Amino acid sequence: MIWFETLFSGLTLGGLYALFGLGLSLIFGVMKIANIAHGELVIAGAFLAFAVVDLLPVPLWLLLPLVTMGMFAVGYALQSALVNRVLGDDPLPPLLLTFGISIVAQNLLVEIFGADNRALDPGWLATARIGPVWFPVGLLPLGTLILTVVLFGVLHLGIGHTRWGRIVRATSDDPALVGLFGVKRRRVFAVVMGVSAALAALAGVLLAMRSSVTPFSGVERLLIAFEVIVIGGLGSIWASLLGGLALGLVHVISFRLDPASGLLYGHILLLVILLIRPEGLAGRKVTR
């Protein structure tokens, strides 16, 4: 019985992890850059939600799309104003730039909101549970998992079966060549960064409902996001989901057996994957 609880906690935590990783993996897949500011985008999403709720008490179903759209705009602006300027053959300038953005974003959040711990109070949803008495299941973690799977599905359809998705895939394959077909690759990059920021923001809102965050919480999420995409592998959207769920399960099972282990077994999983299957659980081999 207790193992069912553990399994459920692991899967729901993994769902959140997968969502941290999804936006990062999208950026990496399309632009081939590692966005160091991804953790700050997650936290900025949470703080945008706090700001909206402080101004006017909107219900959750309205808050989620508002924050998503707001952070899409932030991501779009960030890419077109800053990151696009440094894209090139050298991977170092974007790395340094996003690192700089992460520091600026952190301090900006402290300046605006203070260093307090903040959380989003989901009201009755916080402790709502469904299921039989012998196996109560929290509605919030269950909802998080379902929302994550739905988002993965939507992005899968978006990339695989729409005109926009074809353009993104083509840009990812050869950003120079798509220009010949009238595609403005910088605009494509900006939209992709917007989508990535929007996904990060959703993850941030869900995190703020599950726990509480400070402006300094971004770094830990970035680490999780990187582990998710390394464990899952690159090349497919679903790989991130698999990576997230695997990491979440390993964390929760190790917390149960050895509470003091922290993220140790997650890191060990990462190492084992790197040793025996460097392309990740579901990634395809990249030869270059």
If the CB atoms of residues 2 and 55 are measured against other proteins, the closer one turns out to be: 2
Structure-token pair, residue 250: 């390993």
For the chain, how many residues are written? 288
If the CB atoms of residues 73 and 115 are measured against other proteins, the closer one turns out to be: 115
Structure-token pair, residue 106: 């952190």
According to DSSP, the residues that pair with 137 across neighbouring strands are 130
Q: Residues 243-282: x/- map of binding to other proteins (CB under 8 A)?
A: -----x--xx--xx-xxxxxxx------------------
Report the sign of the C-alpha dihedral through residues 57, 60, 65, 67, in that order. Answer: positive
Q: In whole angstroms, what is the distance from residue 267 CA to residue 132 CA?
A: 35
Q: How far is the CB of 198 from other proteins (least distance, A)?
A: 22
Q: Does 13 bind other proteins (CB under 8 A)?
A: yes
Report the 10 Å Cβ neighbour count for 288: 2
Q: Does 38 bind other proteins (CB under 8 A)?
A: no
- Residue 3 burial class via C-beta count within 10 angstroms: exposed 0-12, middle 13-18, buried 19 and up: exposed
Evaluate whether 61 touches 119 at the Cβ level (below 8 Å).
no
Q: How far is the CB of 4 from other proteins (least distance, A)?
A: 10
Q: In whole angstroms, what is the distance from residue 110 CA to residue 116 CA?
A: 8
Q: Does 100 bind other proteins (CB under 8 A)?
A: no
Out of 5, 95, 164, 183, which residue is the one contacting other proteins (CB under 8 A)? 5
Out of 220, 238, 279, 281, which residue is the one contacting other proteins (CB under 8 A)? 220
Q: What residue ranges bind other proteins (CB under 8 A)?
A: 2, 5-6, 9-10, 13, 16, 107, 110, 114-119, 121, 123, 126-129, 136-141, 210-214, 216-217, 220, 223, 248, 251-252, 255-256, 258-264
